[in-house]
Amino acid sequence: MRDLIVTNLEIVPGRTITAHLGLVQGNTVRSKHLGRDIMAGLKNIVGGELKGYTELLSDARDEATSRMIEEAVALGANAVVNVRYSTSSVTAGASELYVYGTAVRIE
Amino acid sequence: MGSILAFLTLLLIGFVFGKMNEMNHFRRLDQDEQTYAHIDVYNIKRPTEPLAADGVLVSGNVVIAVDYFKVIVAGLKTLIGGQLGTYQSLMTRARREAVLRLKREASELGADAVYNVRIEFSTVGANPRGVGGVELFAYGTAVKRP
């Protein structure tokens, strides 16, 4: 477990927020992969889970989150509260994963 | 003639395998939801019960492809409007799966509940015929009771 607490609550259970350090954010834009798309083409006939895409988006969100955490650490925070994710299609075949929250100090 | 035959074949394959996939998925969901029934999930922001210190952000996501039959039915249905049952079941499956994966992650951490659960939707790999797949993403804060 990382030592920095990330939560989408407005508070950290059992702790007191002593300082708000401002908005921190992270994003990444990922495009689809041709190989994965061929599989997706087949799956579009029979249905079912597109595991390649599930992993792709999950990894991309992890990356966006770690960028946000880096920003928070640079501000001297030990927690990020009220985290929100958002996903948008930039063009056909590419998605932006965006995460933002408020960096705080807790004790 | 050949193209009509190909179309009908795809439609049939889509219908049979799509239906099978869906039935299997619903069956699996029913089982797995029982397994993780002990994790309480809330979408309230401020916990009203005493909790152990800290919390961990947990999430679950799933991308599910739209089968050929659903795409064609949706295309036809948009001519007359009304309820689109084929996509409704697709969304339900995906949403239940995403929440289930969130619960699984919480359970692996030994959590008792997940607060402030948010569910997000996005489309993946849109092709000219319609959506390639739908992604449902659920996230929230896993907490322990003291």
Taking the CB of residue A63, how many other CB atoms lie within 10 A of it?
Answer: 16
Give CA–CA dist A11/B143, Å, rounded.
Answer: 12
Residues of A in contact with B66 (CB under 8 A): 44, 47
Please answer whether residues A28 and A68 qualify as being in contact, where contact means their C-beta atoms are separated by less than 8 angstroms: no
Are the C-beta atoms of B141 and B56 separated by less than 8 Å? yes
Q: What Cα–Cα distance (Å) separates residue A4 from each residue in A23, A81, A102, A105, B58?
A: 16, 11, 13, 10, 14
Outline where A12-104 has alpha helix (H). Answer: 34-46, 51-74
Mutate to test the interface with A, among B26, B61, B95 (most CBs of A within 10 A): B61
Q: Which fold has domain A5-106?
A: Translation Initiation Factor IF3 (3.30.110)
Please say whether the beta carbons of B73 and B102 come within 8 A: no
Structural contact between residues A8 and B140, judged by C-beta atoms closer than 8 angstroms: yes
Calpha distance B54→A96 (Å, rounded):
29
Domain boundaries, chain A: 5-106
Residues of chain A that touch chain B, judged by Cβ-Cβ distance less than 8 Å: 1, 5-15, 32, 37, 40, 43-51, 53-54, 57-58, 61, 65, 83-89, 92-93, 95
Find the CATH number of the domain harbouring B94.
3.30.110.70
Residue B132 has pLDDT above 70, yes or no: yes
pLDDT digits (tens, 9 = 90+) for B42-57: 999 888 888 988 899 9
Query: What pLDDT band is residue B126 in, cutting at 50, 70 and 90?
Result: low
Average pLDDT over residues A63-80: 96
Tally of domains within chain B = 1
For B76-107, what is each residue's pLDDT tens digit?
A: 888 888 888 888 999 999 999 999 999 999 99
The kind and range of the H/E element at B100 are helix B85-108
Digit-coded pLDDT (tens) for A95-104: 899 999 999 9
